[in-house]
């Protein structure tokens, strides 16, 4: 019987495990190793690790966490979970593991629009976050935003701040229609609009060619997509955790201690935030570690 099982051993799960290992609590981390940013060569904006390879940051974290003797690691995909008495039983690696608390740090999975050529360029010339990759594209670059819904308005305005007026193009792709006020904002910020559907993207980094359904082609230095996301697995359904909705997808609803709507089940990182980054995931994971630990000592209302 572990004190805590953590599903997901990336930034959020590692940060939770670190707090619990330091409290000498027994922890099992179950991790399938599919970090969301595994497609990118470098990670930006995380203080002290700016520009490091995503894999290097998580490997260092794993080494730190594994140095605590009460932390065990299992490379596996967790599937079935059920409540047993005051705790939980989780199937992973062909065995059932029991714990008093559960932390879901599974991250989210990106769903890219079905446009040929996007997947291969994800994390290279196609990105989701300007704070992560905008600076590296350089000044005065030609940036495009592929709309996936009405939130493309905010994304286009945001992205345009990383380049000069006239160099941001919003590709509507039938995903949304700006209203008059939005069109005035676009005009004021020098954001161009393309109404033709995108047929495919091509070209080799550092350039990206966008081919439209009417046969025209435009070349950009970077394309941003606010991808739709989902939380992987069916833990919410199996346990009864309520989900909250962001403009791009669902995430676990949690309180300030990172406990979900099911007592004893905590969630953190991208899986429990409306918007993710490595920094947010680490901070959120630390909160979940504190929260799960304190819940072992204090009644629900006090931890
Ligand atoms: P993740 O890092 O996604 O990790 C979740 C872990 O849980 C994975 O190892 C996964 O395999 C595991 N898991 C899931 N389900 C199970 C299961 N059932 N059983 C076992 N294990 C499971 N952010 C930045 O701050 N800077 C950047 O430069 C940056 N670049 C990015 C580039 C790209 C292309 C993308 C897509 C994202 C980028 N991000 C960046 C965002 C960043 O990747 C996420 O915010 C961060 O990875 C979230 O950490 P996490 O621990 O919550 O989830
Ligand atoms: Mg994690």
Residue at which a domain ends, from 208, 225, 242 = 225
Query: Can you count the helices (H) and strands (E) in the chain?
Result: 8, 19
Ligand nearest to the CA of 112: 1
Q: Look at ligand 1, atom 2, and give the residue with the nearest C-alpha.
A: 35
- H or E stretch at 144: strand 143-146
Query: Domain check: are 200 and 60 in the same one?
Result: no
Chain segment 145-161, per-residue pLDDT in tens: 999 999 999 999 999 99
Output phi, psi for 88, to 5 deg: -140, 155
Q: What is the DSSP letter of 266?
A: E
User: Which is nearest to 259 in space by CA: 102, 122, 111?
Assistant: 102
pLDDT at 302 over 70: no
- In testing the pocket of ligand 1, which one of 10, 62, 289 has its CB within 8 Å of the most ligand atoms? 10
Domain of residue 14, residue span: 2-110+228-302
Question: From the CA of 151, how far away is ligand 2's center (Å)?
Answer: 26
Query: Domain check: are 28 and 84 in the same one?
Result: yes
Chain segment 90-135, per-residue pLDDT in tens: 999 999 999 999 999 999 999 999 999 999 999 999 999 999 999 9
pLDDT, position 125: 97
Question: From the CA of 172, how far away is ligand 1's center (Å)?
Answer: 28
Query: Domain check: are 208 and 193 in the same one?
Result: yes
Distance CA 165, CA 257 (A): 43
Output phi, psi for 216, to 5 deg: -70, 160
Residue at which a domain ends, from 200, 225, 250 = 225
Residue at which a domain ends, from 225, 255, 275 = 225
Supply the pTM of this predicted model: 0.97
Question: From the CA of 109, how far away is ligand 1's center (Å)?
Answer: 8
Show the ligand 1 pocket: residues with CB < 6 angstroms.
Answer: 7-13, 30-37, 39-40, 43-46, 77-78, 105-107, 110, 122-123, 128-129, 132, 232-233, 269-271, 276-279, 281
């Amino acid at each position: 019987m572990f004190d805590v099982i953590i599903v997901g051993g990336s930034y959020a799960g590692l940060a939770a495990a670190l707090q619990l290992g330091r409290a000498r609590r027994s922890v099992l981390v179950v991790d399938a190793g599919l970090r969301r940013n595994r497609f990118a060569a470098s990670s930006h904006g995380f203080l002290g690790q700016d520009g490091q390879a995503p894999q290097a940051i998580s490997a260092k974290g794993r080494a730190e966490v594994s140095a605590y003797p009460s932390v065990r690691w299992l490379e596996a995909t967790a599937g079935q979970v059920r409540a047993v008495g005051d705790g939980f039983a989780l199937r992973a690696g062909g065995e059932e593991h029991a714990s008093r608390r559960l932390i879901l740090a599974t991250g989210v999975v990106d769903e890219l629009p079905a446009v040929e050529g996007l997947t291969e360029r994800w994390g290279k010339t196609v990105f989701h976050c300007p704070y992560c990759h905008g600076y590296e594209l350089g000044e005065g670059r030609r940036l495009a935003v592929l709309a996936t819904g009405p939130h493309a308005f905010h994304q286009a305005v945001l992205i345009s701040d990383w380049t000069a007026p006239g160099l941001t193009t919003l590709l509507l792709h039938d995903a949304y229609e700006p209203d008059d006020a939005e069109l005035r904002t676009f005009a004021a910020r020098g954001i161009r609009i393309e109404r033709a559907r995108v047929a495919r993207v091509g070209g080799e980094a550092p350039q990206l060619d966008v081919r439209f359904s009417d046969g025209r082609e435009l070349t950009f230095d970077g394309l941003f997509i606010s991808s739709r996301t989902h939380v992987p697995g069916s833990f919410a359904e199996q346990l009864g955790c309520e989900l909250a909705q962001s403009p791009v997808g669902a995430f676990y609803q949690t309180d300030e201690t990172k406990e979900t709507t099911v007592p004893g089940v905590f969630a953190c990182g991208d899986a429990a935030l409306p918007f993710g980054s490595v920094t947010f995931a680490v901070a959120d994971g630390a909160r979940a570690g504190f929260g799960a630990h304190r819940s072992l000592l204090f009644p629900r209302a006090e931890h």
